[in-house]
Amino acid sequence: MDNELVPKHEILDEKEVEKLLQLYNVTPRQLPKIKEGDPGIMGLDAKIGDIIKITRNELVVGRNIYYRVVVRD
Protein backbone atom coordinates (compact mmCIF):
# COMPACT_ATOMS: atom_id res chain seq x y z
CA MET A 1 0.00 0.00 0.00
CA ASP A 2 1.57 3.18 -1.09
CA ASN A 3 -0.23 6.00 0.69
CA GLU A 4 0.90 8.64 3.10
CA LEU A 5 -1.49 7.23 5.70
CA VAL A 6 0.16 3.82 5.66
CA PRO A 7 3.40 3.63 7.63
CA LYS A 8 6.20 1.21 6.84
CA HIS A 9 5.44 -2.41 7.74
CA GLU A 10 8.21 -5.01 8.09
CA ILE A 11 8.38 -8.57 9.36
CA LEU A 12 10.66 -8.98 12.37
CA ASP A 13 13.19 -11.79 12.25
CA GLU A 14 13.45 -14.29 15.07
CA LYS A 15 16.32 -12.63 16.88
CA GLU A 16 14.57 -9.30 17.03
CA VAL A 17 11.34 -10.95 18.13
CA GLU A 18 13.09 -12.48 21.11
CA LYS A 19 14.69 -9.17 21.99
CA LEU A 20 11.37 -7.38 21.76
CA LEU A 21 9.47 -9.86 23.89
CA GLN A 22 12.18 -9.67 26.52
CA LEU A 23 12.28 -5.87 26.52
CA TYR A 24 8.59 -5.49 27.14
CA ASN A 25 8.24 -8.77 29.06
CA VAL A 26 5.28 -9.93 27.03
CA THR A 27 4.07 -12.93 25.06
CA PRO A 28 3.07 -12.49 21.43
CA ARG A 29 -0.57 -12.93 22.42
CA GLN A 30 -0.45 -9.73 24.45
CA LEU A 31 0.69 -7.60 21.52
CA PRO A 32 -1.74 -5.62 19.38
CA LYS A 33 -2.97 -7.53 16.35
CA ILE A 34 -3.14 -7.12 12.62
CA LYS A 35 -5.32 -9.25 10.36
CA GLU A 36 -3.67 -11.62 7.92
CA GLY A 37 -5.48 -10.01 4.99
CA ASP A 38 -4.79 -6.45 6.03
CA PRO A 39 -3.94 -4.25 3.04
CA GLY A 40 -1.00 -2.84 5.01
CA ILE A 41 0.88 -6.16 4.95
CA MET A 42 -0.08 -7.10 1.43
CA GLY A 43 3.00 -8.24 -0.48
CA LEU A 44 4.98 -8.91 2.69
CA ASP A 45 4.00 -12.58 2.68
CA ALA A 46 3.38 -12.56 6.42
CA LYS A 47 2.18 -15.70 8.12
CA ILE A 48 0.00 -16.03 11.19
CA GLY A 49 2.14 -15.51 14.29
CA ASP A 50 4.66 -13.25 12.61
CA ILE A 51 5.39 -9.97 14.31
CA ILE A 52 5.16 -6.87 12.17
CA LYS A 53 7.27 -3.85 13.00
CA ILE A 54 5.54 -0.61 12.11
CA THR A 55 7.58 2.55 11.83
CA ARG A 56 5.19 5.41 12.34
CA ASN A 57 5.84 9.03 11.77
CA GLU A 58 3.73 10.78 14.35
CA LEU A 59 2.65 14.39 14.38
CA VAL A 60 4.24 15.69 17.59
CA VAL A 61 6.04 12.60 18.74
CA GLY A 62 8.08 11.96 15.61
CA ARG A 63 9.42 8.55 14.68
CA ASN A 64 7.71 5.88 16.70
CA ILE A 65 7.82 2.11 16.49
CA TYR A 66 4.84 -0.11 17.08
CA TYR A 67 4.46 -3.86 16.88
CA ARG A 68 1.55 -6.06 15.86
CA VAL A 69 1.11 -9.83 15.61
CA VAL A 70 -0.46 -11.30 12.51
CA VAL A 71 -3.71 -13.09 13.34
CA ARG A 72 -6.34 -14.90 11.32
CA ASP A 73 -8.94 -12.78 9.54
Partner 1 sequence: MIERDIPESIADRLESMDKNKRKEFLDSYHKALVEPGEAVGTIAAQSIGEPGTQMTLRTFHYAGVVELSVPLGLPRLIEIIDARRNPKDPRMIIHLEKDIRKDEKKANEMAKKLLEVFLPDICDMKIDVKNNQLRIETNDEDIKKVLMKYTEDETGGDVYVIEKESLYDLKKIQNKLAKKRIRGVKGIKKVFIRKEGDEYVLYTNGSNMKVVYGMSGIDKKRIISNDIRQIYETFGVEAGRNIIVNEAVKVLEDQDLDVDIRHIMLVADQMTVTGEIQAVGRQGISGSKESVLARASFEETEKHILMAGLRGEVDTLDGVPENIIIGQPIPIGTGMVKLAIKSSLAPKKPIEGKKETAGENKVLDGKVSDVKKKIEKLDSADYKALIEAEKKGENRKTLLKWLESQID
Q: Which residues bind partner 1 (CB under 8 A)?
A: 1-7, 9, 23, 32-35, 38-41, 54, 56, 58-61, 63-66, 68, 71
Tell me the closest approach of the beta carbon of residue 14 to partner 1, in angstroms.
16
The minimum distance between CB 4 and partner 1, in angstroms, equals 6
Query: Dihedral of the CA atoms 37, 38, 39, 42 (nearest 10)?
Result: -60
Q: Which is nearer to partner 1, 15 or 60 (CB)?
A: 60
